Each structure stands twice: as structure tokens, then as C-alpha cells.
Structure 1
Amino acid sequence: MKSTAFTNSVTAIASALVASITIGTTAVQAQNAQHIQSLLTHHTCQRCELSGLAAPGANLRESFLDVADLRKSALSGATLAYSTIYYADFRGADLSNSDLRNTFLINSDLIQANLSGANARNSRWKYADLTEANLQNANLIDIELVYAKLNRANLTKVSLRNASLYGADLTGANLKGADLYRADLTDANLTNVDLTQTNLCRATMPDGKISMQGCTEF
């Protein structure tokens, strides 16, 4: 009885969510209720079409998202910690203040996504496209952003302590007040980046040299 009641409850939630999701002026097709139910019940989203999903604060811990369409989704405050994400589309999505700790993300699109205040500590984001994304005040300590695209991204007051930015493209990014203590910027592109107010203490710079900018012990 409890199992049936739970299934019916999830189905009702999924149906309600579908009713509230739109892409422009067109409602999402009814079959996407199955995609929502799969995400809510099993934390699995394979080739699902959930553009415009409104699920702020949702508990999606340990999810598996494979080729998921979550463009312009509203996931502020959601929990996605320990999730595995392949080729997902989060363009324009709101992931502000979300829990993204220990996530493994590869080849995913986060162009113009709002990640302000998000906690992605100890995550592995390989080949992520964060062009023009808002990462202000985000916790990116120990994150791996190898070959990530961060062109014109807002990284003000972000914590990138011990982060790996090997080969990352930060052209035009805003790093005002950012903390890159011991970060690895080997082969990174810092064209048009103002680093005068950035803590680069013991960071490895693109040319392989160790920076002492911001160190207070000397």
C-alpha cells in the first residue's frame, strides 16, 4: 500500500510540474511527465527533455544525468551532490546556491548559467563550457576545471583554492577579489583578465612560474 501511494504521489507531482513548465509559449509535451518521474523517483535522467523545469530546492543527490536537456531550468538551492553528469545542457539555468559538491561533469554546457553562491567543492568538471556564466561567491575549492571555457565568466569573490585550471580559457573573465591560492593555471589563457585584486599566492601561472601575489607571510 505504501509503495502504491508513493508512486501515485510522485506521478501527481510529475504531472503538476509538467503543467507548470513551458518553452517560450509552448507547453512541454505530456510524455515528459515520465522524464520528470524518472528524475524524481530514480534520480536518473537519460536523454530527457526537461527544458524550463521548475524544481527549486529539489533533492537530486547522486543523480545520473546523461544527455539531459535542462536549459533555463530553475534549480536554485537544489541538491545535486555526488551526481554524475555527461553532455548535459544547462544553458541559462538557475543553479544559484545549489549543492554541487563532488559532482563529476564532462562535456556539459553551462553557458550563461547562474551558479552564484553554488558549492561545487571537490568536483571534477572536464571540458565544461561556462562561457558568460555567473559564479560570483561560488565555492570551487579543489575543483578540476581542466580545459574549461570560462570566457567572460563572472568569477568575482569566487574561491578557487587548490583548483586545477589547466588549459582553461579565461579570456575576459572577471576575477576581482577571487582566491586562487595554490591554483594550477598551467597553459591557461588569461587574455584581458585583470588580476590586480586576485589572490594568486603560490598559484602556478600559465608559464609555469609560481606567483607570490597575495601572500602575507612574506
Structure 2
Amino acid sequence: MKSTAFNHSVTAIASTMIASVMAIGMTSSVQAQNAEHLKSLLEHHTCQRCELSGITANGADLRESFLDVADLRKSALSGATLAFSTMYYADFRSADLSNSDLRNTFLINSDLIQANLSGANARNSRWKYIDLTEANLQNANLIDIELVYAKLNRANLSNASLRNASLYGADLTGANLKGADLYRADLTNAIVTNVDLSQANLCRATMPDGTTSMQGCMLQK
């Protein structure tokens, strides 16, 4: 059970952020709606059909949240903890999730177009049918992640760790994989048009045509 001090801290943070949202100059009804949605997210870690685009919650502890059809476009969530959260149809377009904790998250049909996920830790997550077009995943920890049929068109995956990742059927057209670690990754049926894989570690990775690559194996310890 959370301590009284912790609850008071969360309430204080929620109150401050709610005041900021309500000071933007929206209509009274929208202010009230957003205030309630924000309170629900910060205090109860639940966000169903909430309208919270543009909020600032950097470093917030939102672990084990449930986000259902949540609008978090252009939100600032750098360093936030969302580990073990479940998100259906969440909209994170152009959101800042850099250095966030996304371990063991489950996302389905979520939109992360042009989102900043640089340095994020999404290890052991299951992201199905999500759109990461032009997203920044540089230096991200994507070990053991499932990105089945994900859209990664022109995404920046440079120096990302994708060891044992499942990219089955993913669209990587134009993606940047320079320095990416794809050791034992599954790229079966993935689309790799206009992708330079020459500087990626593909040791024992299953390639789109079903063959096993040995590229980079000499560097493995």
C-alpha cells in the first residue's frame, strides 16, 4: 500500500499539472474534462478516452497504467516510467518519450509517428501493429521486443539494441540501422527496401528470405 506521504506527493503533482492545463485558455468544459483525465492518469494510472495532448509529465511514475484510446499527442514524458503498462489505440504522435522506462509494456494499434524514443528502455515488450514511422529510437533498448508487422518506415534505429527482437513482417523501408545490434533477431518477411544493413550486427539473425546471417559473428564474444 502506498504511504500517506507518497499519496500527498502524487496529489500535489497532479494539482500543479492540472492548474497548468487549465491555465492554457481553453473553454470551461474542456478545462474540466482535461483536469479530470489528468487526475485519473496521475493518481489512478488509468486513462480511457482521455484528451491529454500537449501535457508535461516528465519523470512521472505511471507504471502499470492502463491507457485505452488515449490522446497524448505532443506530450512531454521524457524519463517517465510506464513499465508494465497496457496501451490500446494510444496516440503518442510527436510525443517525447526519450529515456523513458517502457519495459514489459503491451501496445496494440498505437500511433507513435515521429515520437522521440531515443534512449528508451522497452525491453521485453510486446508492440503489435504499431506505427513508428519516422520515430527516433536511437540508442533504445529493444532487446526481446516484439514488433510484429510494425511500421518503422524511415525510423532512426541507429545504435539500438534489437537482440532477439521479433520484427516479423515489419516495414523497415528507409530505416536507419547503422550500428544496430540485431543478434538473433527475426526479420522473417520484413521489408528492408532502401535499408543499409552493412553496419549492423546481424549475427545469427533470420533474414527476410528465411536465411540465417553470420554478419558480425566474428565480433561476438
Q: TM-score, normalised by structure 1?
A: 0.92
2:43 is paired with a residue whose SS is helix
1:31 is paired with a residue whose SS is helix
Change (3 A) 1:55 1:159: same
Structure-2 residue corresponding to 1:57:
59
Structure-1 residue corresponding to 2:124:
122
1:61 is paired with a residue whose SS is coil
Structure 2 letter corresponding to 1:179: D
Shift of 1:30: 2.6
- Kept in 1, the 8 Å contact 2:11–2:43? The answer is no
Structure-2 residue corresponding to 1:82:
84
Q: Deviations over 1:136-168 (max 9, x none)?
A: 000000000000000000000000000000000
Shift of 1:4: 10
Structure 2 letter corresponding to 1:96: S
State how 1:70-149 maps to structure 2 within 5 Å. 70-149=72-151
State how 1:187-198 maps to structure 2 within 5 Å. 187-198=189-200
2:163 is paired with a residue whose SS is coil
- Kept in 2, the 8 Å contact 1:18–1:30? The answer is no
Change (3 A) 1:197 1:7: closer
Q: Deviations over 1:120-151 (max 9, x none)?
A: 00000000100000000000000000000000
Which residue of the other structure, out of 156, 160, 168, is the alignment partner of 1:158?
160
Q: Deviations over 1:165-202 (max 9, x none)?
A: 00000000000000000000000000000011000000
Number of residue pairs the alignment of both structures matches: 216
Change (3 A) 1:64 1:18: same
Query: Any stretches of 5+ residues in structure 2 without a counterpart?
Result: none
1:40 is paired with a residue whose SS is helix
| Cα RMSD after superposing both structures | 2.4
Percent identity between the two aligned chains: 83
Which residue of the other structure, out of 170, 173, 184, is the alignment partner of 2:172?
170
1:105 is paired with a residue whose SS is strand
Structure-1 residue corresponding to 2:208:
206
2:73 is paired with a residue whose SS is coil
Shift of 1:10: 5.3
Query: Any stretches of 5+ residues in structure 1 without a counterpart?
Result: none
Change (3 A) 1:50 1:134: same
Return the alpha-carbon distance in structure 2 between the equivalents of residues 5 and 160 of structure 1: 39
Q: Deviations over 1:12-70 (max 9, x none)?
A: 54343134348x98586232111111111111000000001100000000000000000
1:38 is paired with a residue whose SS is helix
Return the alpha-carbon distance in structure 2 between the equivalents of residues 38 and 26 of structure 1: 19
- Kept in 2, the 8 Å contact 1:135–1:155? The answer is yes
2:107 is paired with a residue whose SS is strand
Structure 1 letter corresponding to 2:68: D
Q: Deviations over 1:74-128 (max 9, x none)?
A: 0000000000000000000000000000000000000000000000000000001
Structure-2 residue corresponding to 1:18:
18
Return the alpha-carbon distance in structure 2 between the equivalents of residues 7 and 194 of structure 1: 50
